Amino acid sequence: MMRLVQQRLATAPYITKSFVPRPGFGKAGIRTKVIANHFKFTKIPTKTIYHYDVVVNPEPSKMVMAKVWNQWEAQANAVVVFDGVKNAYSSHVVLPGEVTVTLPPNPDAPPTRRVPKDFKVTLTKVKELNLAELDAYVAGKVKINEHILACIQAMDIVFRHLACKTMVAVGRNFFARSCNPTPLSDGLELWSGLFQSVRPGHSVMTLNVDTAYTAFYQAVPVVQFACKVNPQLVPNQGLIPRDRFKLELLLRQVVTVATHRRDSKLRYRVLRLTLEGADKCMFMYTPAEGGVPQPLSVAQYFKTKYGILLQYPKLPCLVVGTPEKSVMLPMECATIAPDQKFRGKLDEYQTAEMIRTAAKPPVARQAEIMHLFASLRLRENRYLQAFGIEVEGQPMAVDARILAAPEMAVGRGRCVVAGNGVWQMGNQHVANPARITALGVLSFCDTQRASEGQITGWMQDGLSKTAEGMGIMFSPVDNKKAPIRFARNNPGDAEAALRAVYQETENTFNQVPQLIVCLMPGKSAAMYAKIKHIGDTVLGVPTQCLLLNKVTKPGNKQYWSNVLLKINAKVSGAYINFRLAQSRFFTESTMLVGADVTHPAPGTDQPSIACMVASLTSHSADRYATVTRKQPRSRQEELSDCAEMFEQLLHAYLAKSNQLFPKRVLFYRDGVSEGQFAAVNDIEVRAIKGVLDRLGARETKLTFIVMQKRHHTRFFADKMGQGTTDKTGNLKAGTVVDRDVTDPANFDFFLQSHAAVQGTARPTRYVVLHDEVQWTADDLQQFTYHLCYTYARCTRSVSVVPPAFYAHLACSRARHHLAGRAAGSAPGGVGSAGIPMVSDKLEESMYFM
């Protein structure tokens, strides 16, 4: 039993061990007050509570389990909270023994199967939890341990218990069925709800409340659902083969309800679609006992058996049930069951609609959070009362500071200072401008929309003139004109077209092309993946995609500037367009490392991909090298090849620094949940230290920091705050919080390093897992903030440090390489990690920008 408890704690969304103790609180910056979406416990119980293991026999489904527990709770007349799976907690002793719970007949079952069902419920005491230890933990008197983790989990389940009874629970999110969802394409809709989680803070326990949005399947008839997935579908004419795959893929993820019987509503899983329509799907039917079996179509059967004349007999049937015992059900005799979360990946249009709905400005989001908190009606919650928990009715006001922005060194020895995380290049040159002497242009647009003459004009008036103002030189050999070729907007034709323009560019300028510019008629993920795959792995040339509507938009100088920042980072000898000016944090040689793991979309068999990126210059963040690997197991977060990846990057660093080891390695690790901190610390920190020791770099000091974006802490301006917000109502870039809502003992802080363009800014949480440099709070917070200004693709500070951002981009590009290889193109070489290798020509290039 304890093993089950330990397994549950291993996936807990809380820090599971002590790491680097907080070295003190930061003092730098302008002090201010902000409002956090955390609600303070005004009373932390110090009583003993009891943890029970729950066993139900026979084991019910998740839906039936909730009914069984409600019935047990009513029979026992007890106030006991339950996680819906295995664990129950009570503020009093529950009498041992087996209790029989009888559920009434299921009204949705056929009359012959409507019988009561008995379940035997047994509670076995696992341990007693003294909540006084939780109070001691947040006060900083004791370190985190398994007992305290169990106390936090118990508190979390106390808050969740009532919400699970009245709302649709999805993880830590809860959705009311009357939430007025926003329609999305493909038969989906966006539900709005609330997130809640109990969090240990500095000297206080808090309840974190936030907004939540999740896509659900629309509970509509299956025929209507099919028309939403395929808007061109004409039900009377049936389903054409090209529409079948997408519809079948979605239907296999849902539960349907049969509607053809008046006396029952059976629920079924969809296995597949039939190849023929209901009028041609035949089976052997025996009309009566002793009768002669005869072939009958599904359409004829439903007319004979149920008196239903199918309206759309040419539509395929749903094959439902189990592989061992399946039946065919006409699409018009089924509906999508309600309350089903969509577990796939939203496409770009659905994502855009979700962002438009969810991205509320700070004032609106804060008001919605207060409305959600009020809807919990915590003062009336009898479970909280039984455990002696009370929560403050107003959100917490916490201390914050606004850090000063750094100076940025640009070209011609000049410096610029950002205002609220944004600056303009204006007439400034990039720090290390490229000279591009050989480039080609490939247009996938119709010549009526983009003729050769028009493209030449856009390249000259847009790209070349803007580049000249930034110091980037477009000076083709002998002033020859860049070749322009046209191709069909079809991923299948992309490789031949790219090879052709590559060859023509090489022949025109008598040198290897430095860049191929691709003009696109619109966004296409498949086309983008194909172009990047061919350019990176086959031809070994940087590619830059341009959108036609962006190119032709009047007054688009900012667009061209952003494009040129990407181009310059891809082809320049020194990769970064600007750097920190005279940073005191680079007084010692420092190697910056970022790492990330990207996981495949649910329901796919693609691998997880890991990437590590490292700077190659000792006293600035100018040059970066990259290494990418496939994880041995899908959805594995810990870097399995951490030692090998880091060693490869360290050798690249040594090659650029006269074989001198860095004095410091500052490692930023992205994408790790709190329950994985301990494993990542044990595996990855140990691997890095092992490499340094083996290569003789024993003087090099390592700092390992995990950064988190997937959290629900938000900060808002205090009503009394003056000058703390920008024009969007968000807090200014550089706002840092390291008190109150941070960890009771470990070294962590929240940093909002960017100016949000829309919605409410999300701060990044940084947690220090290992530190041999012994950073002060001020130094690490300021250095991390200053690094966020060195992102090469834009003249803005970004929300996460660039090394981790680059690792994320490289992971995404590797997935494009896998997609491009799957599409049938020549891979150009596959590494031992199973990912197409980037061409040797791009090893010294930030090709992923």
**Which pTM was predicted?**
0.93
CATH number of the domain enclosing 306: 2.170.260.10
Same domain, 551 and 587: no
SS3 of residue 290 by DSSP: coil
The answer for residues whose C-beta is within 8 angstroms of residue 203's C-beta and 6 or more apart is: 138, 139, 140, 740, 744
399-415 pLDDT, tens digit each: 999 999 998 888 888 88
Cβ 444 vs Cβ 521: under 8 Å: yes
Note the pLDDT of residue 820.
62
More confident residue, 4 or 741: 741
367-394 pLDDT, tens digit each: 999 999 999 999 999 999 999 999 999 9
Domain boundary among 303, 336, 369: 336
345-356 pLDDT, tens digit each: 888 889 999 999
Note the pLDDT of residue 817.
84
pLDDT band at 575 (very low <50, low <70, confident <90, very high): low
164-195 pLDDT, tens digit each: 998 999 988 999 988 889 999 999 999 999 99
Note the pLDDT of residue 349.
86
Ranges 257-261, 280-284, 578-582: which has the least confidence: 578-582
Q: Cis peptide before 58, with omega less than 30 degrees from 0?
A: yes
Same domain, 287 and 323: yes
Q: What percent of the chain stands above pLDDT 90?
A: 65
Same domain, 547 and 609: no
DSSP notation for 201-215: -SSSEEEEEEEEEEE
Same domain, 721 and 694: yes
Note the pLDDT of residue 447.
92
What residues pair up with 124 in beta bridges, in sequence order?
Answer: 53
48-63 pLDDT, tens digit each: 999 999 999 999 988 8
What is the C-alpha separation between 307 and 696, in angstroms, rounded?
A: 84
What is the C-alpha separation between 626 and 569, in angstroms, rounded?
A: 14
Any domain includes 394: no
Which letter does DSSP use for residue 731 in this model? B
CB burial class (10 A; 0-12, 13-18, 19+) of residue 573?
A: exposed
What is the C-alpha separation between 732 and 401, in angstroms, rounded?
A: 10
Residue in 628, 632, 642 with CA at minimum distance from that of residue 679? 642
Any domain includes 311: yes
The two beta strands, 439-443 and 515-520, are parallel
Task: State the total domains in the chain.
Answer: 3
Domain boundary among 546, 571, 596: 571
Which letter does DSSP use for residue 379 in this model? G
Same domain, 709 and 750: yes
pLDDT band at 32 (very low <50, low <70, confident <90, very high): very high
pLDDT band at 557 (very low <50, low <70, confident <90, very high): confident
Same domain, 613 and 752: yes
pLDDT band at 301 (very low <50, low <70, confident <90, very high): very high
Residue 702 has pLDDT above 80, yes or no: yes
Note the pLDDT of residue 5.
39
Same domain, 696 and 739: yes
The length of the chain in residues reads 849
SS3 of residue 398 by DSSP: strand
Ranges 92-106, 364-378, 643-657: which has the least confidence: 92-106
CATH number of the domain enclosing 497: 3.40.50.2300
Same domain, 508 and 657: no
pLDDT band at 110 (very low <50, low <70, confident <90, very high): confident
Note the pLDDT of residue 619.
83
Alpha-carbon Rg for the chain, nearest whole angstrom, is 30
More confident residue, 601 or 297: 297
Residue span of the structural domain in which 295 resides: 222-336
Any domain includes 115: no
- What separation in angstroms does the CA of 661 have from each of 534, 690, 696? 36, 15, 9
Note the pLDDT of residue 799.
96
Domain boundary among 521, 544, 571: 571
Same domain, 586 and 722: yes
Segment 656-669 mean pLDDT = 96
Any domain includes 686: yes
Residue 558 has pLDDT above 90, yes or no: no
Residue 834 has pLDDT above 70, yes or no: no
Any domain includes 751: yes
Residue in 720, 725, 777 with CA at minimum distance from that of residue 747? 777
Q: What angle do CA 367, 370, 373 make, to 5 degrees?
A: 150
Any domain includes 56: no
Any domain includes 95: no
Note the pLDDT of residue 721.
54
Residue 691 has pLDDT above 90, yes or no: yes
Note the pLDDT of residue 414.
86
Same domain, 587 and 566: no
The answer for residues whose C-beta is within 8 angstroms of residue 562's C-beta and 6 or more apart is: 793, 794
Any domain includes 350: no
- Single-letter amino acid, residue 171: G
pLDDT band at 8 (very low <50, low <70, confident <90, very high): very low
What is the C-alpha separation between 820 and 535, in angstroms, rounded?
A: 11
Same domain, 484 and 626: no
Same domain, 588 and 566: no
